[in-house]
Amino acid sequence: MIKLKDILSELNVKNVKYKNDKTGKQELGKGAHFVYIGRQRVGVFHVDSIGTIPFDPKNWLKMKGKGSPTKNTIFMFGGMAIMFSGQGVGRNLIKKIFKDNKNIKHITLYTTDSAIGFWKKLGGEILGKLDGKYYMRIDRI
């Protein structure tokens, strides 16, 4: 029988993990990745590219494969459940991604204006804006 105190102890944001939807393992790959705290699914992020991304968002007029490539990067987008907002889930997830993937030096992503403050707290830099989306990059933290 599962006890309430065991469930609550699992919900520590430092226990954040992610699983690749295709493999069910904690590994990065193209596609969806579900985010968990203990057994509770709290979010999802999608990886579009890994390694050398096909564009440089600083040169966002030349997107879609025509800009300069950026090496050692993942390009991702997604979000966490609003009930976990401000509790450190996102920060711990980004740290875990960097810790588990030593070759990744940058995360490039797009976000809305409501999340820019979060990404700036992690050292994120706005690279450009296109169609209401802000493109940002975070260097390894």
Q: Residues 66-113: pLDDT tens digits?
A: 445 567 888 888 877 666 677 778 888 999 999 999 999 888 888 888
Tokens standing for 98? 């960097």
Instruction: Determine contact, residues 47/28, Cβ cutoff 8 Å.
Output: yes
Look at residues 77, 99, 64 and name the one whose alpha carbon lies nearest to residue 31: 77
Instruction: Determine contact, residues 91/122, Cβ cutoff 8 Å.
Output: yes
Predicted structure pTM score: 0.77
Mean pLDDT of 17-23: 93
Give residue limits of the domains in the chain.
4-139
| Bridge partner list, 57 | none
Tokens standing for 74? 């993942």
**Fold for domain 4-139?**
Aminopeptidase (3.40.630)
